């Protein structure tokens, strides 16, 4: 190994890459080193995420690169292959790093040393080892002789606690001069697996780490959570609690936001001059964007619970619990991780499928991921359930929460059934092997959890400020024009209704009404369905504009408007439980998200599979909605 490639001039910028396995603390370390200046994008020519940032508080310009997580330098998944290519300098559009920092979890040091051996042999350049989670090692009564490990490996070794900043300053000083790093005198075995394991055992013995020593606390918990019977029951209980909490815990904050939006609408009507711009602000922007923002507390609560379960280490166990079920439909447990990510949004869920090594498994997961109930469906579900499902209890559990859980289960079961069909027909092939490192149980810090929830919530708010805002303005134009002269014989409400009936939006809705009438939908829902092709939650904004509830009390006003709306021709309620259930089922199945379609196009390399997914999900949505409306109408009549 030589250091000759490292420029001695401190004015020359360097590129240092972080490499490590998933759950090693690599990204936490990267964030601690670079802060908010990190830049996220994709590697040229592929859709694998690339994270880059400049080292903070450094005497030298150093660009840090956070490589995708990998267990070895012989990558099988796209993520692992990119990491391998970057390290070897063969990734198109990416220069080879000047130095490497291997990140290893101190609680699983023995497993990490295998990757260390591969890097030292296969990537001869200045290399340092950072051991994370050293506080947890101490908390478990263990110790790591890092100076001795450094002498054995022949490279610098540092211990850090990334989320608390312990050891970061020492690491920052080390990174300033990779040319001065020591190098191994004798390289470890890199290619032969048996020799490498023997070497790892020998190194662990020299620094006092028993390779076979287990974390007894983790083992005791895993015996319960990974049990086929008890683990499944616990998983079901966790999911029930998750969706029950969405209705109960978030209600006060939702009411507060709804009242604030209503007050803002009232003040705007009083202080702003009458005219088109004021109408746009109150009836378009406030009604549209405000009608969606009221659901932010539920989004925050859902993300907080899911991130907590992921950070504490439970979700990896859940993947093993459901691996048996996944195998029945032709997939493996790693696909569950991608599908689980789709509960927040199908876009990161589809991107997470890159970690699946089998192309058939990866494509099947991408095609069924949109069935998983993303956060964009939550406002639609909440509105219809709160309006038409009685707030009663069944066996001590809230009926509304149970219906919400049922919709999530319907989406998940449909995803699994679709995967089984795809893997037995268009994507027939052998099930790939499943391996996943189970992280130790950890209690996440409030700072980490808060940053994760903030990022997810900000993404939701950003959608409200971009896609939903744009859609709300377009909808307002469609619903406000063409203008009709005022009729002095009509009341204000009658005049507003007449103007709405004469709008371009109403004409568009009536054009498709014959197609959706068998589902129990009228032209108003038709307008919402068209608008929701941009994003599912836009239908809430559409209904808010149609019923002009921006100056009422937000969510409660829209809910009451739906309940009290009457068909003037029949004198019957426009909406009832059968219509609500039909619309809910339609949203469970339909692919109404432009962002998801675009990402599917990028990940599959063409329009064929996105078009296929949109078509078959639309047919399934129509058929499911039709059957639901007919059956519900018959049972409830």
**197, 203 contact by CB (below 8 A):** no
Distance CA 66, CA 80 (A): 13
Q: What angle do CA 215, 218, 220 make, to 5 degrees?
A: 105
- Residue 550: the pLDDT is 52
Distance CA 269, CA 348 (A): 40
Q: Helix or strand or coil: residue 634?
A: helix
Judgement on whether residues 428 and 469 belong to the same structural domain of the protein = no
Judgement on whether residues 208 and 278 belong to the same structural domain of the protein = no
Check which CATH number belongs to the domain holding 193 and give it. 3.40.50.300
pLDDT(273) > 70: yes
Q: What is the pLDDT of residues 320-342, one digit of tens each?
A: 887 777 878 888 777 877 887 78
Judgement on whether residues 469 and 583 belong to the same structural domain of the protein = yes
In this structure, the chain runs to a length of 637
Helix (H) or strand (E) segment spanning residue 256: helix 251-271
Question: Looking at the domain assignment, is residue 146 inside a domain?
Answer: yes
Question: Looking at the domain assignment, is residue 5 inside a domain?
Answer: no
Helix axes 467-480, 523-531, angle to 10 degrees: 140
Judgement on whether residues 349 and 273 belong to the same structural domain of the protein = no
Q: Does the predicted model carry a pTM greater than 0.85?
A: no
In angstroms, what is the C-alpha Rg of the chain? 28
Judgement on whether residues 209 and 310 belong to the same structural domain of the protein = no
Phi, psi dihedrals of residue 101, rounded to the nearest 5°:
-125, 115
Question: Looking at the domain assignment, is residue 6 inside a domain?
Answer: no
Tokens linked to 433: 């092997």
Burial of 251 (0-12, 13-18, 19+ CB in 10 A): middle
Distance CA 586, CA 622 (A): 7
Domain end marker among 443, 470, 501 = 443
Phi, psi dihedrals of residue 42, rounded to the nearest 5°:
-115, 150
- Residue 38: the pLDDT is 60
**Percentage of residues in the chain having pLDDT higher than 90:** 30
- Residue 36: the pLDDT is 57
**45, 93 contact by CB (below 8 A):** yes
- Residue 500: the pLDDT is 87
Distance CA 567, CA 578 (A): 15
Judgement on whether residues 276 and 356 belong to the same structural domain of the protein = no
pLDDT(551) > 60: no
Question: Looking at the domain assignment, is residue 388 inside a domain?
Answer: no
Judgement on whether residues 56 and 183 belong to the same structural domain of the protein = yes
Judgement on whether residues 65 and 188 belong to the same structural domain of the protein = yes
pLDDT band at 621 (very low <50, low <70, confident <90, very high): very high
**22, 324 contact by CB (below 8 A):** no
Distance CA 209, CA 211 (A): 6
Phi, psi dihedrals of residue 165, rounded to the nearest 5°:
80, 5
Tokens 């014959």 — which residue? 514
pLDDT higher at 551 or 525: 525
DSSP states along 81-101: HHHHHHHHT-STT-PPPSEEE
Question: Looking at the domain assignment, is residue 294 inside a domain?
Answer: no
pLDDT(42) > 70: no
**17, 83 contact by CB (below 8 A):** no
Judgement on whether residues 285 and 330 belong to the same structural domain of the protein = no
Mean pLDDT in the chain? 85
Number of domains comprising the chain? 3
Distance CA 426, CA 421 (A): 8
Distance CA 600, CA 368 (A): 11
Q: What is the pLDDT of residues 369-395, one digit of tens each?
A: 999 988 889 899 999 999 999 989 888
Domain range enclosing 346: 230-243+299-370+394-443
Distance CA 538, CA 389 (A): 22
Tokens linked to 274: 């009458």
Q: Which residues contact 541 (CB under 8 A, 6 or more apart)?
A: 287, 288, 289, 291, 292, 468, 471, 472, 475, 531
Out of 283-287, 444-448, 614-618, give the one with best mean pLDDT. Answer: 614-618
pLDDT band at 66 (very low <50, low <70, confident <90, very high): very high
Question: Looking at the domain assignment, is residue 552 inside a domain?
Answer: yes
Distance CA 159, CA 146 (A): 7
Domain end marker among 443, 473, 505 = 443
Question: What is the mean pLDDT of the segment spanning 288-293?
Answer: 81
- Residue 10: the pLDDT is 62
Would you give the DSSP letter of residue 65? E
Tokens linked to 613: 């997914």
Judgement on whether residues 277 and 345 belong to the same structural domain of the protein = no
Domain end marker among 386, 411, 443 = 443
**Of the candidates 29, 220, 207, 182, the residue with the CA atom closest to the CA atom of residue 109:** 207
Q: What is the pLDDT of residues 162-210, one digit of tens each?
A: 777 788 999 999 999 999 999 887 788 766 788 888 888 888 888 877 6
Q: Which residues contact 369 (CB under 8 A, 6 or more apart)?
A: 338, 339, 342, 346, 349, 350, 353, 415
Judgement on whether residues 336 and 430 belong to the same structural domain of the protein = yes
Question: Looking at the domain assignment, is residue 101 inside a domain?
Answer: yes
- Residue 18: the pLDDT is 95
CA distances from 244 to 240, 252, 377, 414 (A): 6, 15, 16, 22
Question: Looking at the domain assignment, is residue 8 inside a domain?
Answer: no
Region for 208 from its dihedrals, namely left if φ exceeds 0, alpha if ψ lies in -120 to 50, beta otherwise: left
Would you give the DSSP letter of residue 249? T
Judgement on whether residues 535 and 401 belong to the same structural domain of the protein = no
Per 3-state DSSP, what percentage of the chain is helix, strand, and coil (rounded to 5)? 60, 10, 30
Q: How many CA atoms lie within 13 A of 466 on its CB side?
A: 7
Question: What is the mean pLDDT of the segment spanning 229-258?
Answer: 81
């Amino acid at each position: 190994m030589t250091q000759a490639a490292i420029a001695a001039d401190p004015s020359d910028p360097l590129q240092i890459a972080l490499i490590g396995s998933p759950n090693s603390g690599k990204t936490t370390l990267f964030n601690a080193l670079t802060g908010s200046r990190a830049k996220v994008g994709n590697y040229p020519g592929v859709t694998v995420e690339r994270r880059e940032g400049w080292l903070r508080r450094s005497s030298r310009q150093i660009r840090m690169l956070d490589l995708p997580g990998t267990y070895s330098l012989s990558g099988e998944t796209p993520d692992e292959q990119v990491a391998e290519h970057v390290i070897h300098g063969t990734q198109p559009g990416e220069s080879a790093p000047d130095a490497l920092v291997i990140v290893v979890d101190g609680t699983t040091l023995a497993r990490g040393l295998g990757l260390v051996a591969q890097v030292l042999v296969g990537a001869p350049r200045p290399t340092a080892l950072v051991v994370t989670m050293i506080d947890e090692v101490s908390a478990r009564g263990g110790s790591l002789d890092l100076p001795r490990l450094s002498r054995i490996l022949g490279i610098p070794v540092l211990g850090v606690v990334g989320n608390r900043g312990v050891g970061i300053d020492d690491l920052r000083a080390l990174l300033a001069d990779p040319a001065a790093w020591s190098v191994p005198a004798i390289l470890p075995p890199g290619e032969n697996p048996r020799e490498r394991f023997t070497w790892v055992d020998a190194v662990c013995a020299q620094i006092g780490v028993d390779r076979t020593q287990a974390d007894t606390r983790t083992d005791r918990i895993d015996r319960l959570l990974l049990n086929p019977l008890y683990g499944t029951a616990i998983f079901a209980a966790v999911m029930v609690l998750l969706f029950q909490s969405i209705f109960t815990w978030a209600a006060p904050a939702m009411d507060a936001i709804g009242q604030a939006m209503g007050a803002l609408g009232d003040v705007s009507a009083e202080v702003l001059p009458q005219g088109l711009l004021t109408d746009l602000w109150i009836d378009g922007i406030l009604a549209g964007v405000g009608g969606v923002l009221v659901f932010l507390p539920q989004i925050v609560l859902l993300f907080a619970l899911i991130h907590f379960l992921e950070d504490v280490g439970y979700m990896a166990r859940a993947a093993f619990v459901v691996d048996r079920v996944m195998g029945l439909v032709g997939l493996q447990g790693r696909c569950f991780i991608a599908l689980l990510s789709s509960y927040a949004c199908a876009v990161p869920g589809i991107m997470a499928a890159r970690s699946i090594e089998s192309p058939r498994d990866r494509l099947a997961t991408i095609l069924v991921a949109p069935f998983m109930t993303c956060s964009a469906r939550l406002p639609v579900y909440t509105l219809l359930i709160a309006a038409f499902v009685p707030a009663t209890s069944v066996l001590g559990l809230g009926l509304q929460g149970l219906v919400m859980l049922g919709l999530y289960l319907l989406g998940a079961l449909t995803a699994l059934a679709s995967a089984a069909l795809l893997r037995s027909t268009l994507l027939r092939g052998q099930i790939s092997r499943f391996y996943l490192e189970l992280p130790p149980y950890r209690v996440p810090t409030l700072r980490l959890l808060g940053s994760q929830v903030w990022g997810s919530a900000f993404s939701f708010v950003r959608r409200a400020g971009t896609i939903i805002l744009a859609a709300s303005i377009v909808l307002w134009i469609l619903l406000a024009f063409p203008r009709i002269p005022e009729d002095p014989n009509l009341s204000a409400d009658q005049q507003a209704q007449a103007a709405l009936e004469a709008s371009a939006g109403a004409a568009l809705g009536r054009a498709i009404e014959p197609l959706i009438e068998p589902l129990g939908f009228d032209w108003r829902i038709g307008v919402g369905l068209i608008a929701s092709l941009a994003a599912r939650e836009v239908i809430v904004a559409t209904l808010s504009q149609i019923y002009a509830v921006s100056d009422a009390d937000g969510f409660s006003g829209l809910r009451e408007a739906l309940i009290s709306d009457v068909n003037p021709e029949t004198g019957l309620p426009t909406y009832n439980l059968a219509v609500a259930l039909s619309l809910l089922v339609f949203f469970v199945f339909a692919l109404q998200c432009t962002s998801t379609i675009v990402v599917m196009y990028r990940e599959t390399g063409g329009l064929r599979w996105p078009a296929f997914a949109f078509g078959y999900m639309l047919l399934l949505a129509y058929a499911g909605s039709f059957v639901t409306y007919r059956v519900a109408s018959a049972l409830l009549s």
